[in-house]
Amino acid sequence: MDGWILLYRKLSDNKLWTCEPFSRGQAWVDMLLLASHSEQFFYVRGNKVNVKTGQLAWGEVKLSERWRWSRTKLRKFLNDLEKEQQITQHKSTIIQVITIVNYENYQKKDSRLDNRKTAEEQQKNIYKECITKIKNVKEINKWDEIFSLWIKHKAERKETYKKTGMERMINKLFEYSENDPELAMKIIDNAISNNYAGFFKINNKRNGNTTDDEIDKLFNEETQ
């Protein structure tokens, strides 16, 4: 079967994705989702661990817990993948690093992604212009991260804000979260996980007759 689909990495955190023991196919897709899309590093017990694009540094214990597998089943699966030349494994006394072979083949560049990135950057510029007008914003770095996630989500839905809509959206999130970044992140995570066009108060009791389409319509009024 030919063709492509784009999977949002947030899928790996969705309860529907992790609520049951993984199948072998699900475990393979999970590795693609967990693999780093850029070079980075972190420290384990004071030791620097470099992770390149297409690699994931997950120990056997964490992977077996995540997939709800025995460590014997996990090792057999990884060894089978290595024999099939789909991965390579590098184990040390610090951590295990798994490399996805030909990872770039799973990340085919699409011109639509470039267009989305351009729209996303434009939206971020509008956001920066709007957020600077709001006084006494505490922990601005946390808020920048939260709004960046939401703007990216909207760009993936091919939806954008005009300046006035951006201002309303910013003020609405401050209002719904009561200026609490942690609550704001929960609100945004909930909306993104459900692929909503807009967000709402988590503690709101939605009318049983209100559909997701009606919620999307309500919040789409703020976009273009």
Whether residues 46 and 26 fall in one domain: yes
Q: Rounded to two decimals, what is the model's pTM?
A: 0.49
**pLDDT value of position 214:** 45
In a domain, residue 3? The reply is: no
Whether residues 77 and 117 fall in one domain: no
| Domain stop point among 46, 80, 106 | 106
Assess contact for 123 and 151: CB atoms under 8 A.
Answer: yes
Total of domains in the chain:
2
Whether residues 60 and 138 fall in one domain: no
Residue-wise pLDDT for 110-153, tens only, equals: 555 556 667 788 889 998 988 888 767 778 888 999 999 999 89
In angstroms, the CA 24 to CA 92 distance is 25
Distances (CA, A) of 102 to 80, 84, 88, 170: 17, 13, 11, 41
Whether residues 20 and 101 fall in one domain: yes
Whether residues 148 and 202 fall in one domain: yes
Q: Which residues of the chain have pLDDT under 70?
A: 1-5, 108-117, 135, 203-224
Whether residues 100 and 117 fall in one domain: no
Whether residues 65 and 102 fall in one domain: yes
In a domain, residue 4? The reply is: no
In a domain, residue 116? The reply is: yes
Whether residues 212 and 116 fall in one domain: yes
**pLDDT value of position 108:** 62
Domain of residue 92: give its range.
Answer: 9-106
| Domain stop point among 89, 106, 123 | 106
In a domain, residue 1? The reply is: no
In angstroms, the CA 197 to CA 215 distance is 8
**pLDDT value of position 164:** 92
End-to-end CA distance of the chain: 36
| Domain stop point among 56, 83, 106 | 106
Whether residues 164 and 143 fall in one domain: yes
In a domain, residue 193? The reply is: yes
In a domain, residue 180? The reply is: yes
**pLDDT value of position 201:** 86
Tokens of 173: 């999130």
